[in-house]
Amino acid sequence: MIAELECVVLDCPDPLGLAGFYRSLLGGVVNKPDRRWSVDEDWATLHLPSGNVFAFQRVEDYRPPKWPDPAHPQQFHLDFGVPDLEKAHEVVLAGGATVLDPAEGRRWRVYADPAGHPFCLLRHL
């Protein structure tokens, strides 16, 4: 091993708003003091209870991915395991997510966060 993952960074138009969205889903602390990053109107962080860190950086003229359109690729997506898919569904919608694929009858659903990044909620087995 030559490296350790420090942070996952998502481009977006509203860093603080997107940090708040992910806090509502994952818990944690938005903009916790950390010598590795300075936060401002163009950069926000979310320190998760697991110790992982998400960061959100403002990009002027941000253009979100469009799932599943290959002309606007998603580049990556995040999968989140949840014990109660219906409850998690309500939480992410209240936070500003949109449904991309309701996948009725399956153990997962596909959403876009408020900045358009695809993510999935997967019911724990």
CB of 111 closer than 8 Å to CB of 9: no
Question: pLDDT grade, residue 73 (50/70/90)?
Answer: confident
In whole angstroms, how large is the CA radius of gyration of the chain? 15
pTM above 0.85, yes or no: no
**CA-based nearest residue to 67, from 90, 99, 21, 95:** 99
Q: Are 58 and 15 in contact (CB under 8 A)?
A: yes
The domains of the chain, with CATH numbers, are 8-58 (3.30.720), 78-123 (3.10.180.10)
Rounded CA-CA distance 52/28 in Å is 10
| pLDDT for res 75 | 76
Indicate the pLDDT class of residue 125, thresholds 50, 70 and 90: low
* pLDDT score, position 112: 95
First to last CA, the chain: 31
